[in-house]
Amino acid sequence: MSDLIEERDFFGKKIGGRHPFFLISGPCVMENRELLDRVCGEMKGICEDLGITYIFKSSFDKANRSSINSYRGPGIEEGRKHLEFIKNKYNIPVLTDVHETIQIDPLKDVVDMFQIPAFLSRQTDLIAKAAETGKWVNVKKGQFMAPDDTRHIKTKIQESGSEKYMVTERGASFGYGNLVFDLRAIPMIHKYDIPLVYDGTHSAQLPGAAGNITGGVREFIPHMMRGAVSVGVEGLFMEVHPDPEKALSDATTQYPLAKAHRLLKDLLEIDRFVKTKVLGID
């Protein structure tokens, strides 16, 4: 069983092997231009200070909502403008999630990485359409999906003519209203030479626990992220917000922006130790 994947090119850098993790991060949903600008500016500065490759993430539409009355975002037209603004101002790759094949063409000239939500991780047409753009495709492993089944995701993307694939682990359903992060998923997915991203914020969700919205246990995010990095991952996913309690989406699991630097610094030290000492990569 492989501990890590073979190294490969990734936005002018390398991932895999002994290379440090990259970071996908931003506010859960696009609330306004000012929020996106602030979060991206601060997170880019943090990542530059720590030497971490940074991809900005935010959603123009949160279609998978618990309640029909939950805030979903500004929509694709306004969302595209926001992503274009961030990309041009900060000169970084941008990511957003898509829920339907018709959303891909309007975004493909701006987005550098398409994300397939966990609930849609088996939607072949959506995955294939995203892969055909030639952009990176990050598929979030469904809470219902076994780690070994991610090999089918890789095959779908390869059969669509692309080698730019990765899978995000974000916990598995455990009974009703709970998610559990199983560390075994990381080496099991690596067995198929699939780049693995660990999502520390969505793993802290408690689906439906807050009545008509998803609850969460934000206090466990650092523990789970340290655990994932200790096994060896290529990337991390972390939604951040200046005032999580007032966020319009995932208010219980977005991580405080003010605490991001300290957490990432600690994680980078663990990552470096594991990849150079524990896993024996020179």
Quick check: pTM over 0.75? yes
The DSSP line for the chain is --SSPPPEEETTEEESTTSPPEEEEE-SB---HHHHHHHHHHHHHHHHHHT--EEEE-BS---S-SSTTS---S-HHHHHHHHHHHHHHH---EEEE-SSGGGTTTTTTT-SEEEE-GGGTT-HHHHHHHHHTTSEEEEEPPTT--GGGHHHHHHHHHHTT---EEEEE--EE-SSS-EE--TTHHHHHHTTT--EEEETTGGGEETTTTSSS-EE-GGGHHHHHHHHHHH--SEEEEEEESSGGG-SS-TTTSEEGGGHHHHHHHHHHHHHHIIIIIS---
Q: Which CATH architecture has domain 61-67+98-276?
A: Alpha-Beta Barrel (3.20)
* Residues 29, 251: Cα–Cα separation, whole Å: 11
Please say if the pLDDT value at position 35 is more than 50.
Answer: yes
List the domain boundaries for the chain. 61-67+98-276
Q: What's the whole-number average pLDDT of the chain?
A: 93
- 20 in Cβ contact with 52 (< 8 Å): yes
Asked whether residue 227 carries a pLDDT value surpassing 80, the answer given is yes
- Say which residue, 70 or 77, is predicted with more confidence: 77
| Backbone phi and psi for residue 206, each to the nearest 5 degrees, phi listed first | -125, 90
What would the pLDDT profile of 96-146 be if each residue is shown by its tens digit?
A: 999 999 999 999 999 999 999 999 999 999 999 999 999 999 999 999 999
Answer whether residue 212 shows pLDDT above 70: no
Q: Percent of the chain, pLDDT > 70?
A: 94
> 78-100, pLDDT tens digit by residue?
999 999 999 999 999 999 999 99
Residue 276's pLDDT is 87
What is the structure's pLDDT at 281?
55
Of 2-11, 31-40, 252-261, the range with the lowest mean pLDDT is: 2-11
Say if residue 255's pLDDT is above 90: yes
